[in-house]
C-alpha cells in the first residue's frame, strides 16, 4: 500500500499541492477575511444599545450555528441567482479571464455561491470570537477611559480594541484552521479544492484508500503546522504586554 501511495502521489502531487491545496487555502482565507469583516459588524450589532440590532444579530448567529453547514452550502448554491452574482462579482470573473482565458463562467458562479455560504457561516462564528475578545478586556479599562472623559467610540478604538486584538487575532487564526477542514464539505460541489482533487484522483486511479490517505496527510500537515505557529504567536502577543 505504501508503494501505491508513493506512486499516486508522484503522479498527482501537482494537482494535490498546486490546485487542490491552493484552492482550499485561498477559499479559507477569503472566508476568514470576509468572515472577520461581517463578523465584526455582527459583533458590534450584538453589543449595540439598540435592541432591534441586537435581535437581528442574535437571530442570525443562532440560526447559522444551529443548522448544518452542508445545508447552508446547498441553500446558497440553489438560492443565489446567476445574474445577480455576475452583476455583483462579474468584474472578478473578467479579471480571471485575463489570466486564464478558459475559465468557465458556471464554475466561477458556483465558486462564488460556495464562498458566500462559507462567509455567511464563518461570520457567525467569528462574531462570537470578536465579541468575546472584546468582552475579555477588563471592565476597569473602560471605566478608567470614560473617567478621563473619552467617549464610547474613543474608548473602543484607543483602549479596548488594541487590547482585544491580542485575544482576537490568534482566535481568528484558529478559525482559519477550522475553516480549512470545513471547506472539504464544499467538494460536494466539485470546486477543485483538496477534497475535490481526491475525487478526481480516485476516479482516475480506481484506488480509494491511497488517495484518501494522501489527502488526509496534507490536511493534517497544513493544519498542524498552522496551529503550532498560531500558538507560538499567541504566546508572544501575551508576553509582549
Partner 1 sequence: MNEANSKYMIQAVDLHKSFGDLHVLKGVNEGILPNEVVSIIGPSGGGKSTFLRCLNLLETPEKGHIFFEGVDITSKGVNVNIHRQKMGMVFQLFNVFPHLSVEKNVTLAPVLLKKKTEKEAKEAAAALLQRVGLFDKLNESPSRLSGGQKQRLAIVRALAMEPDVMLFDEPTSALDPEMVGEVLDVIRELVSGGMTTVIVTHEMGFAKEVSNRVLFMDGGIIAEEGTPDEIFSHPKNPRTRDFLSKVLTT
Q: Binding residues for partner 1, per CB under 8 A?
A: 138, 140-141, 143-151, 154, 158-159, 162-163, 241
Residue closer to partner 1 (CB basis): 83 or 143: 143
Smallest gap from Cβ 172 to partner 1, in A, equals: 18
Between 148 and 221, name the residue whose CB sits nearer to partner 1: 148
What lies within 8 Å, CB to CB, of 56 at 6+ separation is 45
Contact in structure between 96 and 108 (CB atoms under 8 Å): yes
- Residue with Cβ nearer partner 1 (92 or 237): 237
Contacts of 142 (CB under 8 A, 6+ apart): 155, 159, 160
- Cβ-based neighbours of 135, under 8 Å, separated by 6 or more: 47
Q: Rounded distance, CA 123 to CA 129, Å?
A: 10
Task: Using the minimum distance from each CB to partner 1, give the nearer residue, 67 or 154.
Answer: 154
Nearer Cβ to partner 1, position 58 or 154?
A: 154
d(CA 195, CA 215): 7
Cα dihedral across residues 31, 32, 33, 39: positive or negative: positive
For residue 6, the minimal CB distance to partner 1 (Å) is 51
Report how far Cα 76 is from the mean position of its chain's Cα atoms: 16
User: 500537515: which residue's cell?
Assistant: 221
Amino acid at each position: 500500500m505504501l508503494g501505491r501511495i508513493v506512486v499516486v502521489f508522484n503522479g498527482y502531487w501537482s494537482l494535490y499541492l498546486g490546485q487542490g491545496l491552493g484552492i482550499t487555502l485561498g477559499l479559507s482565507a477569503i472566508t476568514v477575511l470576509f468572515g472577520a469583516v461581517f463578523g465584526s459588524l455582527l459583533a458590534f450589532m450584538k453589543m449595540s444599545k439598540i435592541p432591534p440590532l441586537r435581535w437581528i444579530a442574535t437571530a442570525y448567529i443562532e440560526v447559522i450555528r444551529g443548522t448544518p453547514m452542508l445545508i447552508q452550502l446547498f441553500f446558497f448554491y440553489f438560492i443565489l441567482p446567476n445574474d445577480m452574482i455576475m452583476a455583483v462579482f462579474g468584474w472578478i470573473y473578467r479579471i480571471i479571464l485575463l489570466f486564464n482565458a478558459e475559465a468557465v463562467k458556471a464554475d466561477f458562479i458556483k465558486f462564488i455561491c460556495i464562498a458566500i455560504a462559507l462567509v455567511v457561516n464563518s461570520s457567525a462564528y467569528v462574531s462570537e470570537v470578536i465579541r468575546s475578545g472584546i468582552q475579555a478586556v477588563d471592565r476597569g479599562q473602560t471605566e478608567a477611559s470614560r473617567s478621563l472623559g473619552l467617549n464610547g467610540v474613543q474608548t473602543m478604538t484607543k483602549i479596548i480594541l488594541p487590547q482585544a486584538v491580542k485575544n482576537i487575532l490568534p482566535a481568528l487564526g484558529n478559525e482559519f484552521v477550522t475553516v480549512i477542514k470545513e471547506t472539504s464539505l464544499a467538494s460536494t460541489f466539485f470546486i477543485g479544492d483538496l477534497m475535490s482533487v481526491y475525487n478526481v484522483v480516485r476516479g482516475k486511479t480506481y484506488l480509494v484508500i491511497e488517495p484518501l490517505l494522501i489527502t488526509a496527510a496534507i490536511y493534517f500537515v497544513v493544519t498542524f503546522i498552522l496551529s503550532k505557529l498560531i500558538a507560538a504567536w499567541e504566546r508572544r502577543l501575551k508576553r509582549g504586554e
